[in-house]
Structure 1
Amino acid sequence: MRVSSLRSIISNAFYHEERTHCLERHLKFHIQTLPERLKIEKDNELESLKHFAMEYIHHVPDFLDALKQAAQKAGIENHVFPFLRIAEEYFISPPNLPNHHIGLMAMMDEAYLAHRLFEELNDRYISRVGMPLIPWDMTLANVVAHQLVGETLANELDSKVLHTVNKMMPNETSYESSDFKSFMKEEQGNTTPIWQEWPCLGKAAGIDWALT
């Protein structure tokens, strides 16, 4: 895994944002496009969205490390690590996409790919074993990011993630390994301590579901 390289790429994008404010201008435009099912609680909506976007990007390398630990604890490294390498590649060698995003805004696209990959991986894990590998809900953060990336591009990125997961999942056999069965029997899949310090990214930025 090349998490240190990923962190360096993200740092360079943050320096670029300090000079250009490209992400900030993008977010100003998208404040009015957020759907009614989302609400921003803080007085300064732009600052809330900036905080969310920056944390959403910053969390990817830390999330990779945490997911690596969880996979090792569960004994399913052979199943999870290929997905982690793909998430890294989204940043190190990003796919060609028809958009004009640069700097941190491009990082948002790539972070969305990575977070959606994590979400799909977790959903498949739940459907297979009946409990989450990542025991917190990523839906809110990914819905907000979907809106900030833009509907058309975000849908294309969703399709890339689903294609990747569907292509890789049929060949996995890690859930049948003795290590995984032992993990399920002795520890009942308890990876919660790995994740207990992680907040919900949306709510931490003052964004939540609107009451209906």
Structure 2
Amino acid sequence: MNTAALREQIQRAHQHEAETGHLTLLLEKQLPHLHPAIQLPDSDAKGVLTRFVTAYIEQVPDMLDAANDVAIKAGIESQIKPVLKIAEQYFIQPPKVMEGHVGLDSLLDEAYLAHRLVEEVNDLYIREFKQPLIPLDTTMASLIAHQLIGEAFANQLDEAVHHSVDSLLNEDSFARESVEQYRDKLTSAETGEAWKKWPCMSRQLGVDLNL
């Protein structure tokens, strides 16, 4: 994994934001039009929303490092690594659909892709193994990010995720002789203990969603 490159990219985006205020301006314009289900404090709505976006972006390399570390410790690196590499590539070489987006605005799109990829793969693993591949629930955060990105464009990003998952995993992926052994590894105490070392995975992002 090359999450150091992702962190450098995030740092450059922060520098761009400090110089331009691009993301803050975009979020300020969106505040009056957010879905009423998104709950923000009256006192500092713009600040909370900006911090949410920043945390959502910064969580991606943490998530990838954690998943890679757990995969190695649990002996399931060959199954998890391809998923993580695609999420990493979303940052390093984003799809053409994201051309023209800059700074933290661009990284919000890329973070959304990475988080949504993990969600989709988790859904497949829950269906097959009754347990997620990566026990990180960002569903609510991604619903908020979807709204911030905009319905039409976020739907295009979802399509990119579905294409990646379809090309990565299919029924044959779970039909190999090694699946039962892998199932035991995924549900083992060692895997569970490895995840407990990553408290940042349950980070509160500061925005609520009233469904």
Q: Structure 2 length as normaliser, TM-score?
A: 0.88
1:51-200 correspondence runs (5 A): 51-97=51-97, 100-170=100-170, 171-173=172-174, 176-177=178-179, 179-183=181-185, 186-187=188-189, 190=192, 192-200=195-203
Give the 4+ runs in structure 1 shifted more than 4 A: none
Distance 1:184 1:93, change over 3 A: closer
Percentage identity across paired residues of the two chains:
38
Distance 1:186 1:68, change over 3 A: closer
* 1:56-94 per-position Cα deviation (integer Å, ceiling 9, x unaligned): 111111110011123334433222211111111111111
Distance 1:156 1:186, change over 3 A: closer
Q: Residue 76 of structure 1 contacts residue 175 of structure 1 at CA under 8 Å; is this kept in 2?
A: no
C-alpha distance in structure 1 between counterparts of 2:139 and 2:41, whole Å: 18
Measured after TM superposition, the shift of residue 125 of structure 1 is 1.2
Number of equivalences: 208
Q: Structure 1 length as normaliser, TM-score?
A: 0.87
C-alpha distance in structure 2 between counterparts of 1:79 and 1:187, whole Å: 18
C-alpha distance in structure 1 between counterparts of 2:82 and 2:200, whole Å: 25
Match of 1:3 in 2: 3
Distance 1:136 1:62, change over 3 A: closer
The unaligned stretches of length 5 or more in structure 2 are none
Q: Residue 3 of structure 2 contacts residue 61 of structure 2 at CA under 8 Å; is this kept in 1?
A: yes
Measured after TM superposition, the shift of residue 188 of structure 1 is 8.5
Task: Note if 1:23 corresponds to 2:17.
Answer: no
Q: What RMSD over aligned residues (CA atoms) do the two structures have, in Å?
A: 2.3
Q: Residue 74 of structure 1 contacts residue 179 of structure 1 at CA under 8 Å; is this kept in 2?
A: no
The unaligned stretches of length 5 or more in structure 1 are none
